[in-house]
Structures are given as structure tokens and as C-alpha cells.
Amino acid sequence: MDTKSSNSKHSTIGNDPATDTQKSYDRFAYVSKAGHFAGLMHGDSATMLKSLPNNVFNVAVTSPPYFWVRDYGYDDQLGHEETVDDYVDALMGVFDEVKRTLHPEGVFFLNIGDTYYSGNGQPHGSDPKCSSRNFFRKKVRPVDVSGWDIPKKSMIGIPWKVAFEMQQRGWTLRSSIIWNRCNAFVEPTARDRPYRQYEFVFMFSKSRFYSFDRSKLVEEDVWNIPIERNRRAKHNAAFPSELVRRCVEVASPPNGHVLDPFVGSGTSVLTSMAHHRNVVGIDMGDDYIDYVQGAIESEGYHSSSWGDLVESLQKPSPLWDEWAGNRQNFRKPGTAKKV
Ligand SMILES: C[S@@+](CC[C@H](N)C(=O)[O-])C[C@H]1O[C@@H](n2cnc3c(N)ncnc32)[C@H](O)[C@@H]1O
């Protein structure tokens, strides 16, 4: 972290709340003139989430590290597990906590992509456009080692493995939205298959009955949203703000509460702020947290106390009762519209 961590907005949790080890973790709270909070937590998501209260966030939206696709340049990053099962378990360590902190009527949007099993040994050549993908010229990834029980060159099917495990853990899978990345790059190595143009955005609910403002949906389950090419914080895997905006607007009232456990360059934080929500983002990357702190400050937010942020999260939005998405306001089929 940079020197920002020595000023008043910085609070150190102390020891790792899960293991009580010596490593300290940081969190930062900010508030806008209008009273909206933005919180950042610097550390491992599964651990950091444990210090957040139960049942508070209206919506969670995130894109975790995919399995052996990138290197974020530090130890203990998620996505570098030895097996797919270990990867799914690591994600569940985070998403079980997302579930606990999500409001009972809350919704979780999970953007997740797949990985190919190559089994071909260490790859050669390089991708000049994206240094964070070139690490596998140096490290041997498990997906490059032969001996798996699926044919070489297979897509592994990771998004669905994750979705099925989420169901086992009690999440209701309500939609498998296709995010059509209409301006996706060509894949130079994909000479004998179509380029990958879409990714999934799974929509999960914590309970069968939940809150959702359909009037804010701009497309049904195929979302045509270009990738944004302006790389904030040199992050190569940012999702577009339009994708976050849709998730936030359909699943939270104005002044509601948003969570992103893998915040990266801060797309979800900045988009939530622009749409008048309170938001908490978590990341383990020093440079990303540092960058997002600067971005929040340049939006005119001031440092605040973590206690005030938590207190605000524990109160529903003042517009919760009247919000069109509140499930109490849904009209049951066949009943008259309330006047
Ligand atoms: C796909 S990126 C998220 C990008 C983000 N949606 C954006 O728009 O910039 C995944 C992020 O997860 C972070 N990460 C990896 N392992 C982590 C962990 N164990 N705990 C918290 N963050 C982690 C990485 O630093 C990276 O920024």
C-alpha cells in the first residue's frame, strides 16, 4: 500500500480475523456529500468478508479470477489451484460468505469464464497485447500437464461446475445470462474453432422469493455489451460499467447496498457510486486497491469511519418500501393493479 494507508480513513483490522495470524489487513471507508458510503477492503476475500454483517447487501456483482487464465502477480491469489475441484472450493469459500452477507431478498450476479485443458506441456510464443496472460510461458499450469481424464483441447466447463456447486449450497440459479462481448478480440490460436465471444453472467438468489425490478431490464437473457478498452489501473480483466449498472439497477433500490468481493480496477464501486448506492469492494492486489482509493477520492468522497459505513449498511434504503422491485410490490398474476 502507499502512504494513503497512514491517514485517517485507514483502519487496520489487526490480525487475520479467520486465523488470528500476524498478517494485518486494511480497510478504508469513504462518504459522499449526499451520504453515500464506499468501502474498500484490502486482503483475501474469504477472510475479509467474515468481518461484514449478515443479511445487508441487496446485490452482489463480481467477476472472480478465472482458472489459470491470468497472473495478478502475488501469492495466494485465487485461480492458481492445482485442480478444478480446489478452484471451485476456493470460490465457495468466498461465495458462502457472500450468501451470509446478502439480504434474504438479495441477488448475486456472477460473471465467470472457462479455461481449455491443453495437456500439451508448456506453451511457446507470447501474447504481446496482454502480459498478464503470458505467465504460463514461465509457470507450468496444471491445465498444460497431460494425464487428465478428458481429451486434450477440451473446454473444461468450469462455469457450470461452479453453478452446480452453488445450487448444492442452497443458491437458486435463476438465469444464465449470456454476455455477448460484441467487440471481443479474435483469438490468434483458435484456428479450428469459433472465437469465444460470450461469457456467462449467472444470476443467483438467496431465497426463492426475492426483490427484482424488471422495469429496469433493458434486454432479456442475452446482453449485448461491448468490452471497454480503456484499461483502468492497467487491469486486463475489467468488466464493463454497463454490465454492472444493469445488475445494480434491477436488484437494488436507489441508496441500496452493493458488494463486489473481487473489485479489481473498481468498475463495480465507481458504477455503484454513480448510481447512488452504498458499496463495498474487496481485492488482494495492492495496486488495485491503491488505484480505486484514488478514484473514489477524485469523485469528491471524504474519509469516514468503518463503523459509520457498517451502520449505514445495516439500515435498508429509505426507498426500500416503495421501490418497484420490492417483492411486496409485485402484482400477483390475475390480481388487480394497486391504485
Ligand atoms: C477478474 S478480476 C476483477 C476485475 C473487476 N471486475 C474489474 O472490473 O476491474 C479478479 C480480481 O480478483 C483479485 N483477487 C485474486 N485473488 C484474490 C483473493 N484471494 N482475494 C481477493 N481478491 C483476489 C485480483 O487481484 C483481481 O483484481
CB 49 within 8 A of CB 101: yes
Claim to verify: residue 124 and residue 183 sit in the same structural domain:
no
- In the structure grid, which three cell numbers stand for residue 266, read together? 473498481
Residue nearest to atom 27 of ligand 1 (CA): 264
Strands 198-205 and 172-180: antiparallel
Q: Total domain count for the chain?
A: 2
Nearest one of 318, 314, 305, 301 to 31, comparing CA atoms? 301
Q: What tens digit of pLDDT does each residue of 187-219 get? A: 888 999 999 999 999 999 999 999 999 999 999
Range with the poorest average pLDDT among 10-19, 176-185, 244-253, 311-320: 10-19
78 CA to centre of ligand 1 in angstroms: 8
Find out whether the beta carbon of 291 lies less than 6 Å from any atom of ligand 1.
no
260 CA to centre of ligand 1 in angstroms: 9
98 CA to centre of ligand 1 in angstroms: 15
Find out whether the beta carbon of 238 lies less than 6 Å from any atom of ligand 1.
yes
Range with the poorest average pLDDT among 23-27, 257-261, 320-324: 23-27
Query: Does residue 336 form part of some domain?
Result: no
List the Cα angle 119/197/176 in 5-degree steps.
Answer: 95
Which residue type is seen at 112? I
Nearest one of 26, 142, 13 to 85, comparing CA atoms? 142
Q: How many CA atoms lie within 13 A of 171 on its CB side?
A: 26
Domain with 122 in it: 116-152
The answer, yes or no, to whether residue 24 has pLDDT greater than 60, is no
72 CA to centre of ligand 1 in angstroms: 8
The band of 182, judged by pLDDT with boundaries at 50, 70 and 90, is very high
Query: Does residue 338 form part of some domain?
Result: no
Total residue length of the chain? 339
- In the structure grid, which three cell numbers stand for residue 146, read together? 497431460
User: In whole numbers, what is the pLDDT of the chain averaged over residues?
Assistant: 90
Instruction: List residues bridging with 29 in a β-sheet.
Output: 39, 304
Find out whether the beta carbon of 78 lies less than 6 Å from any atom of ligand 1.
yes
Find out whether the beta carbon of 247 lies less than 6 Å from any atom of ligand 1.
no
Give the pLDDT confidence score for residue 338 in this predicted structure: 61
Claim to verify: residue 286 and residue 161 sit in the same structural domain:
yes
Give the pLDDT confidence score for residue 6 in this predicted structure: 35
The band of 13, judged by pLDDT with boundaries at 50, 70 and 90, is low
Query: Does residue 144 form part of some domain?
Result: yes
Claim to verify: residue 192 and residue 262 sit in the same structural domain:
yes
Give the list of residues 6+ apart from residue 228 with CB closer than 8 angstroms, or none.
238, 240, 241
| Structural element, H or E, at residue 271 | helix 267-274
Q: Which atom of ligand 1 is nearest to the CA of 47?
A: 20
Residues 22-42, mean pLDDT to the nearest whole number: 88
Beta strands per DSSP E along the chain:
10-15, 24-31, 37-42, 57-62, 102-112, 116-117, 154-155, 172-180, 198-205, 222-224, 257-260, 278-283, 302-304
Give the pLDDT confidence score for residue 7 in this predicted structure: 36
Q: What tens digit of pLDDT does each residue of 53-110 get? A: 999 999 999 999 999 999 999 999 999 999 999 999 999 999 999 999 999 999 999 9
Q: Domain boundary at 152, 180, 207, which?
A: 152
282 CA to centre of ligand 1 in angstroms: 8
Claim to verify: residue 211 and residue 145 sit in the same structural domain:
no
Claim to verify: residue 69 and residue 136 sit in the same structural domain:
no
Give the pLDDT confidence score for residue 324 in this predicted structure: 96
Give the pLDDT confidence score for residue 128 in this predicted structure: 57
CB 98 within 8 A of CB 268: no
pTM for the model: 0.92
Distance CA 152, CA 119 (A): 5
Q: What tens digit of pLDDT does each residue of 123-162 get? A: 665 665 666 666 666 678 999 999 999 999 999 999 999 9
Residues 25-43, mean pLDDT to the nearest whole number: 95
Q: What tens digit of pLDDT does each residue of 158-167 get? A: 999 999 999 9
